[in-house]
Amino acid sequence: MSVLDQFFKHHKKRRVAVALALLGTVTPIAGLHKLYLGQPLWGMMYILLWSTPIPRIAAAIDAIWYVVQDLEQFERQFNGSSQYNLNFNNSLQVKAIADAMRELDRLREDGLLTEYEFEQKRRQLLEHIS
């Protein structure tokens, strides 16, 4: 594996991306954040346009976007996956919801819940997963 492959496949951190983007707003080396995030074409465009204010403005916008962007969306976009999808706590939550659904089904079968009540509770439980 080449050095470039290793560089582009490392886990990217939002904090570093924001810091590099902010650095690009005050220095003429805008675009380092794009190189860090595995977008070499955009990084080179920023570097080639260094004499204009466009890369600095774009870097400022990128920094703001990385800050307000949801962490899970950042992970999915720049690391190709989400650390939250494989989280152990999520599997425990899914197990608890499945147990609750089984209990609801028993209550419905015993006649203690109407079909409508069962469906409402089922939908509430499923909302917690997504």
Structural domain total, the chain: 2
| CB-CB contact of 43 with 5 (8 Å) | no
pLDDT tens digits in sequence order for the chain, 130 residues long: 565 555 556 788 889 989 999 998 888 788 888 888 888 898 889 888 888 888 989 999 999 988 888 888 888 888 876 554 445 456 667 777 888 888 888 888 998 888 888 888 888 877 766 5
Overall size of the chain counted in residues: 130
72 and 49 assigned to the same domain: yes
Range of the domain at 107: 88-129
13 and 55 assigned to the same domain: yes
